[in-house]
Structure 1
């Protein structure tokens, strides 16, 4: 009986020894910021932002023109026509508010779209290094609260070298 218990304990200890994990870290934001493709992404995002801004400026000019036109003819309009013009102005005002509200969301969506190929490239490099060096997990150092990280397990420089990025 003691032999069976000793054998079971030995097997449990052996299985814990074989199932050790190797965890590494990578500073993905740092690597992304150094990728040469990032300049093009920033340029494209800025260009899209300017497009949205010019669209908003057109709406703002239309709104101002409708207000000015209404002020000029307000005294000559019948009550029913006044209400109609005020409703037209209110619709433009609502469109502007909606456009303003959705603008940041649209830019974020476009940014995500432009960044997707960079994330794929980064992820492929991380996976390749992790498999080659026997890591079971790679954690991003950004956005996580780590009390301690051993620099020996940080693969940021290896990922940058894999992607051909010089510090």
Structure 2
């Protein structure tokens, strides 16, 4: 199945190349770029701290639940009527609380994914702008991200533009970039 995917991607790639009349291709590694951005690593560390805090809170709730459930099971035969119902309700409520906590924090739509999305968005935008600048400077027709699920079997270093994008991000737009953008804006008017 994986070989079929690779073959199909290669076939699409080959077809696209013949249609676009030998466009220049570049490859970047966005995961590598993100790892070299100090602001991103700091934000990632804050996210990890928050996750650890939630995990600790969950472990505390789970320990409380386990203790209450064990106590309830041990005393179940001694409890009657309202006492039995009350203790059983306490255990069920704590179980519901744990499930709700997990859903709110760790589910697909939970806070952890919202944090990740909010964390990544500004950095993705910065990387996109830097890739766009490098693409324009180097007249690239196609840029692939090798940190995605795409399989890169071999890559000649001359097609890897990761360092150029990283340099662009770290130094910001150059005077030449600003001048060329200003000239393009004037030409559009």
Aligned-residue RMSD, C-alpha: 3.1
Partners of 1:20 and 1:53 in 2: CA distance: 52
Note closer, same or farther for the CA distance 1:147–1:56 as it changes in structure 2 (3 Å cut): closer
Which structure has more relative contact order (CA 8 Å, sep 6+)? It is 1
Contact 1:41 1:115 in 2 (8 A): no
Partners of 1:69 and 1:145 in 2: CA distance: 54
Contact 1:63 1:89 in 2 (8 A): yes
Show structure 1 runs of 5+ residues with no match. 1-15
Per the alignment, residue 140 of structure 1 pairs with: 145
Partners of 2:19 and 2:103 in 1: CA distance: 55
Shift of 1:20: 3.5
Per the alignment, residue 92 of structure 1 pairs with: 94
Aligned residue-pair number: 150
After the TM superposition, which residues 1-167 of structure 1 pair with which residues of structure 2 at under 5 Å, given as runs?
19-60=21-62, 62-63=64-65, 66-67=68-69, 70=72, 77-100=79-102, 103-105=105-107, 106-142=111-147, 143-164=149-170
Show structure 2 runs of 5+ residues with no match. 1-17, 172-189
Q: Give me the TM-score of the superposition, normalised by structure 2.
A: 0.64
Q: Secondary structure at the match of 2:150?
A: coil
